[in-house]
Amino acid sequence: MSRVRLPDFPWDALAEYGSKAKAHPDGIVDLSIGTPVDPVPAGIRDALASVSDLPGYPATHGTPALRSAAIDALRRRHGIDGIDPAAVLPTIGSKELVAWLPRLLGFGPGDTVVIPELAYPTYEVGVLMAGAQVLRADGLTALGPQRPAMIWLNSPSNPTGRMLGVEHLRKVVEWARERDVIVASDECYLALGWEGEPLSLLHPSVHGGRLDNLLAVHSLSKSANLASYRAGFVTGDPELVAGLLAARKHAGMIVPRPVQEAMVAALTDDEALAAQRERYARRRTVLRKALLDSGFRIDHSEAGLYLWATRDEDAWATVDWLAGLGILAAPGTFYGPSGKQHVRIALTATDERVQAAADRLAQ
């Protein structure tokens, strides 16, 4: 019997450097992962508790209120129009959907799925779990004559913070339409643009009024501090979403009802989103200056929760040097071979820990 061979979980390789960073007299500043550290807004917690006494199974498709709130938020926050309420499907966070999407769409041996050159490891893992082939490519010319089953986009990017412009997105959509290829865009950082406004694959300026073969994945982990809630959704092509819904009903892949209620609150609270953006912007300013002043170069990083930084040396050497200062970062090699000289610095630490990192870099 064949078994899927998956790569080792990358962050396990950081244990040695984590121990070194923890030995710092003032403790570790962990900037290696993008996990929220700020409180969950009170309105979201109240919404979660308000339906905690419901004993029945929740709807896989989510409540009508949740789907409506998602559509309204996409329109209000990102200028996305024309989404069918039936084409919104809650997911157990965005990572789960990224991991299972190739399998849920029926891809397998003989299919190729394109992922970004630098990509969060789950894109590759999801393709491997489906038994399909991975191709890393950022440009269409790299694909040559072949026709992949699907193309993954991630804008703003994890790890680089790069944003894809409207012309790039249009070209991908047009190319894919000519070949009947699905395009899926991971947009969990869409609300966190710093040096420009990130654009969704589902924006009318990109797709021209047609959503066929287009999917966008959204998450509330970063924008609303709901990583522990596992709250996300996918939307786009009604036919594709209907197929995903049918498969998820059979598999029992259901967002808990209290979490669905919390998602409604998060999607309607623009003030809480603005406050969280301000926190990340403040931390970004402090860390960016400290890194530049200490000899780093920062590439891309126009949006998202990370600074893509380099000292033009092996990534692991930089990780080790930072660990000596009590700062833990992720090596760029976690995200693909072309990240071998970069580290990913997360903005997800408290103001106090971010300032501590800046002070250590200044020394």
**Contact (Cβ atoms closer than 8 angstroms) between residue 127 and residue 113:** yes
CB neighbour list of residue 261: distance below 8 Å, 6 or more residues apart: 47, 48, 50, 51, 63, 66
Q: What is 228-274 written as a DSSP string?
A: GG--EEEEE-HHHHHHHHHHHHHHT----HHHHHHHHHHHH-HHHHH
**pLDDT at residue 10 tops 90:** no
Q: pLDDT at position 2, please?
A: 52
pLDDT given for residue 28 in this prediction? 97
Q: What pLDDT, on a 0 to 100 scale, did the predictor assign at position 1? A: 36
Strands 330-331, 88-91: pairing is: unpaired
Q: Which residues lie closer than 8 Å to 336 by C-beta, 6 or more apart? A: 116, 117, 118, 119, 136
Tokens of 186: 């991971």
Phi, psi of 258 (to 5 degrees): -60, -35
Specify the DSSP class assigned to residue 335. Answer: G
Order of strands, edge to edge, in the sheet holding 297-299? 297-299, 306-310, 343-346, 330-331
Q: Domain 42-268 belongs to what topology? A: Aspartate Aminotransferase; domain 2 (3.40.640)
295-341: pLDDT as tens digits:
999 999 999 999 999 999 999 999 999 999 999 999 999 999 999 99
10-39+271-362: in CATH 3.30.460.10: no
280: pLDDT strictly greater than 80: yes
What percent of the chain has pLDDT above 70? Answer: 99
- The string of pLDDT tens digits covering residues 164-189 is 999 999 999 999 999 999 999 999 99
Give residue-wise pLDDT tens across range 32-73.
998 999 999 999 999 999 999 999 999 999 999 999 999 999
Q: Using the Cα atoms of residue 272, residue 274, residue 280 and residue 282 in order, give the sign of their dihedral.
A: negative
Residue spans of the domains in the chain: they are: 10-39+271-362, 42-268
pLDDT mean across residues, the chain = 95
- Position 5 scores a pLDDT of 78
Q: Are 217 and 97 in contact (CB under 8 A)?
A: yes
Asked if pLDDT for residue 113 goes beyond 60, the answer is yes
346: its two tokens: 């997360």
